[in-house]
Chain A
Amino acid sequence: MCRYCVKYGDGHKWYLNPKNYTDEVTQGPQTKLKMEDTMVGQILGLEGTIQEIMTTAKRFKYDIGFGEHIDEVFPDLNDEQARELREGFPDIFDIAVGGQVVPLEDAEKIIDLNHGDIFVLPCICRKYYGGKEKMSCMFLNPAGKLLEQNTSWDTPNEMVSKEKAKEMVRQFDKENLIHGIFWCPAPVPIMLCNCEYPHCIALRARLHYNLVDAYRKGEYVAFIDAENCDGCNGIPACINTCTFGSLKYSPTQNKVIVDEMECYGCGLCRNVCPNDAISLIDREKIPQIKDDW
């Protein structure tokens, strides 16, 4: 169990705890903290609570501002100063915004747990990097309802039912987009993200600057049944789907192997396996990686 599940999960995974979707938590005292009193708010020049920022036009400034200032905040990956800063960051992610990878099944459960309809916006990160516009940012309540009133700059937008949202998530899964659940502030789930590597700002923060809490690994890891895996005659399809490079091919054994240290547990490799050899197992069941997020 990760520290978020211990702290906010009440025995569940933090994003599957129904309590975190109630008014008691989504309007709780941790959501009242002003960003100007925090370090990250001062760096980015933000005012108001993080929920106010994320549900108005200021959201762009936060998401994008973080992507832009990250170069200045983290002078170097190997730098001593940068490492100290990184270690100081978990608290900041608690009061601001961070995320975790979820597989399709959990994404569907999150949609079910959410109260009411889901508000869908085009992905802000793709827009920023000049990518193709895609309706893939799914906002949960109460942020979705607030955003609906503040989205004239962010067209098109759409309010979809739970059934439609699940259908969309399944489609994104087929398109090989990684699902992630974001909190804002912890443990209030705010957004279901369906993104890809070069564009997603959270993934960039994780992979380039090793900010663990920006995009945490999922609660699962991929497991390959060696008996069923036949290596697809030397051209395994699953390796292409992995954004994190966790799948390796062994030519003499003619099998695919999972590097569990690199696996984020998104479960996208399962979709393409012709022999159904890949499944997800709980990260907890492997002692070597149970504390690796």
Chain B
Amino acid sequence: MVTIRPEIKYDKEKCVDPRSCLECIRACPKNVLAHRPSVIPPPPEEPKEWIIVPTTRVLCDYPTCSLCLDACPNDALSITIPNP
């Protein structure tokens, strides 16, 4: 038996700047979503692009809970349940 893991994706063009917004990350009561720089340059440069990543997807309660979808101001997030 394999637990169903929702596939969490977001539209990079619609998502403004994950670092300044973070609404979806803060909305998730189970901390499934996280953010990180896409590439970390060697010091002293600062990372340029930040991305949103789903982590422990076993904990996601979609479709019972859809707080992250409601929180996103640009409707950039989407969650789908894969067929078993």
Contact = CB atoms under 8 A, between A and B. Distances in A.
Interface of A: 56-58, 60-61, 64, 67-68, 70-71, 75-79, 128-130, 150-153, 198-199, 204, 208
A70 B56 CA distance: 8
A72 to B, nearest CB: 10
Contacts of B2: 75-76, 79
B58 A151 contact: no
Contact of A128 (B34, B40, B41): B34
Interface string B1-25: 1110100000000000000001001
A57 B34 contact: no
Contact of B42 (A57, A75, A129, A204): A57
Nearest to A58: B40
15 contacts: A57-B40, A64-B34, A68-B34, A76-B2, A76-B3, A77-B3, A128-B34, A129-B25, A130-B22, A130-B33, A130-B35, A151-B43, A152-B46, A198-B31, A208-B59
Q: Which interface class (under 10, 10 to 19, 20 to 34, 35 or more) fits B?
A: 20 to 34
Nearest to A130: B25
B46 A130 contact: no
Contact of A61 (B25, B40, B42): B40
B71 to A, nearest CB: 12
A70 B35 contact: no
Contact of B43 (A57, A75, A199): A57
A67 B53 CA distance: 10
Interface of B: 1-3, 5, 22, 25-26, 30-31, 33-37, 40-47, 53-59
B1 A78 contact: yes
B47 A68 contact: no
A54 to B, nearest CB: 14
Contacts of B36: 60, 64, 128
A241 B1 CA distance: 35
B23 to A, nearest CB: 9
Nearest to B35: A130
Closest 9 CB pairs of A and B: A130-B25, A152-B43, A152-B44, A198-B31, A130-B22, A57-B40, A128-B34, A129-B31, A76-B2
A39 B45 CA distance: 30
A81 to B, nearest CB: 10
B37 A67 contact: no
Given A152-B43, A153-B43, A208-B58, A71 B34 contact: no
